[in-house]
Amino acid sequence: MIELRQHFAGKVMRPVELSYLLYLPKESGVAGGLPLLLFLHGSGERGNDLALIKTHGPPHVIEKGMELPVVVLAPQCPQDSMWHADSLMALVDHITQRYGIDRKRVYVTGLSMGGYATWVLTAEYPERFAAIAPVCAPSASIEASRLRYTPVWCFHGAMDDVVPLEHSIRMVRRIRDAGGEVRFTVYPDAGHDSWTQTYDQPALYEWFLMHRREQV
């Protein structure tokens, strides 16, 4: 658990408390700083037990022995709460400063509730992320044009009966219509669990590292 403070116009707004897991790759002394991947879990992993975060996503594949070439930051959303963009950015800023993260290579991904937060967080702070990957995410009421300079790889299961595929189709269409770059993968036989196939593939992490945000 860490207590942070959000700032706005130089004034402290409120304290923020977030528990998180942090994975550091073996090559921790890279010149220019390490890349950072922020992972946002779904609603089922909320609470105060950090072991829940290892159920799915990058923390799960790391637990199974996969070595990732990025720092993985996986906060836990409190029970009966939702992700808040300002709190997440306060945590990202803290980790970025403490571990010398390369500010041009900060990425975000999330599944279901965390995928929705991925859309919202990027729309709130479009200048901060080099690439994003929402997985089985509900559509979000955001200004799609704010994502037109952020590469997106969106994933969804065609048989999803929790968050129907139409949610991602809608978001992909809106961002493309706004001039954005979107890669869209639909798993024809997958239900809501489109995250296992997504996070198990090294190609996702290689794709993230292809992207840098030149203006930070």
Q: pLDDT class for 188, splitting at 50, 70, 90?
A: very high
Q: How does pLDDT run across 40-56, given as a tens digit for each residue?
A: 999 999 999 999 999 99
Superfamily of domain 19-209: Alpha/Beta hydrolase fold, catalytic domain (3.40.50.1820)
The four Cα atoms 38, 77, 199, 67 give a dihedral, to 10 degrees, of: 60
Strands 71-76 and 11-23: antiparallel
Residue 47 tokens, joined: 């609470």
Residue 163 tokens, joined: 């968050």
Residue among 131, 114, 104, 115 at smallest CA distance from 204: 131
Give the pLDDT of residue 214: 81
**CA gap 187, 18 in Å, rounded:** 33
- Largest Cα–Cα distance of the chain, in whole Å? 50
Q: How does pLDDT run across 73-108, given as a tens digit for each residue?
A: 999 999 988 999 999 999 999 999 999 999 999 999
Q: pLDDT class for 32, splitting at 50, 70, 90?
A: low
Q: Contact 54/21 with Cβ under 8 angstroms?
A: yes
Domain layout of the chain by residue ranges: 19-209
Residue 67, pLDDT > 50, answer yes
Which amino acid does the sequence have at 92? V
48 CB neighbour count, 10 Å cutoff:
10
Average pLDDT over the chain reads 91
